[in-house]
Structure 1
């Protein structure tokens, strides 16, 4: 069977640099090892079905882990798709029909289906169809399964079957180090002092910070200048 990645229109665009390599997890390194391991085993003949539930509040990096899982799956030649419930909750659950042919499927913001019985039933039925050897299913939500207020008892039960990780939210120090790491990966020198300055003066959202880093990277190349606090102030009009 052809294992080339399916070219599907995703509700989200996978960030180029949100990979396992760029993930700064601190205490969450175990979940990275788990996800890498189960994805590497997908191509193994007869490998069992793998379900992973990631739980964490905003800024915990769980969405990054979903993106990274899709990137690795694609690199392995596996078909994969990432759905974000905040983008599709208003659509018909029928959009899940046929996705059981994928090798790896990730769903973010699963907590949003709580109380929406149509989506709860759709996710339950999809789980049962997708539960086959060699498949990987990864859900991410803000809360643990028994705290979601899921109305369908059978779905709540299914959500407890897999491996669950509670993802620790990133501290400001974690974010600063993560930003320095992102910069280094693209050949850009960013000091911890500068990273902390960005955190105190601008957004603490990692995606917003990476967008700012992109702007600083471009400006530093154009102006042939190192990134310093005065340079940041001038470039960002602070």
Structure 2
């Protein structure tokens, strides 16, 4: 337990060279009506409320990594953030060693370890050690947990025995609103017509759309221009 008066400890990075995105926060996440409940549950979970293990899942582009990192930023507990996509080539026993000492462990892309015997076993033992310590585990998957197909039956039962929520993808209208919200947070005014123009001419994944917003932000600062359709067209055609 953290001594009274100390500030929350920063998320541990596991020496993977991975840094949390500064803008991956709950305030920066567009919450559709379908995702209102899971957003509320996550904010409660990462401050120590609810069950000890939670799984969120959804299709690629729905914002799972954003939500996992938002929990890491929001948590008042010392946390460990483990993006499995960046850890698969490492020794699982070494990566998972002592993680149970963290009151909250946030794990991204759990579906990627399916069929990897060493990783499945190491993660199974980590789950059990966390549970024994009364610590919390957040897992994210881009596949329905019921269809992941772990080879280790006990690991599958642990995952499926957790509280599970699906994160719905955004409609085009909601993506336009998310772009406008993110632009406003950067101090840029983006009207609906400009947002819709970007959606019609860019990949629909939010990660790609926010990447375009980075380009527009940089170009807007350099050229001292507002976000008009003509300006966006010029930037996208470069």
| Structure-2-length-normalised TM-score | 0.89
In the comparison of the two structures, how many residue pairs are matched? 230
Measure, in 2, the Cα distance between the counterparts of 1:117 and 1:199: 42
Q: Does 1:38 align with 2:37?
A: no
Deviation at 1:36, TM superposition (A): 0.8
Change (3 A) 1:110 1:212: same
Contact 1:57 1:169 in 2 (8 A): yes
Stretches (4+) displaced over 6 A: none
Measure, in 1, the Cα distance between the counterparts of 2:101 and 2:227: 47
Q: Does 1:29 align with 2:26?
A: no
Query: After alignment, is 212-221 or 227-236 more displaced?
Result: 212-221
- Counterpart for residue 82 of structure 1: 81
Deviation at 1:233, TM superposition (A): 1.4
Measure, in 2, the Cα distance between the counterparts of 1:48 and 1:181: 30
Query: What are structure 2's unaligned runs of at least 5 residues?
Result: 3-7
| Structure-1-length-normalised TM-score | 0.89
Change (3 A) 1:89 1:228: same
Query: What are structure 1's unaligned runs of at least 5 residues?
Result: none
Q: Does 1:179 align with 2:179?
A: yes
- Counterpart for residue 60 of structure 1: 62
Change (3 A) 1:117 1:237: same
Measure, in 1, the Cα distance between the counterparts of 2:134 and 2:63: 26
Measure, in 2, the Cα distance between the counterparts of 1:96 and 1:133: 15
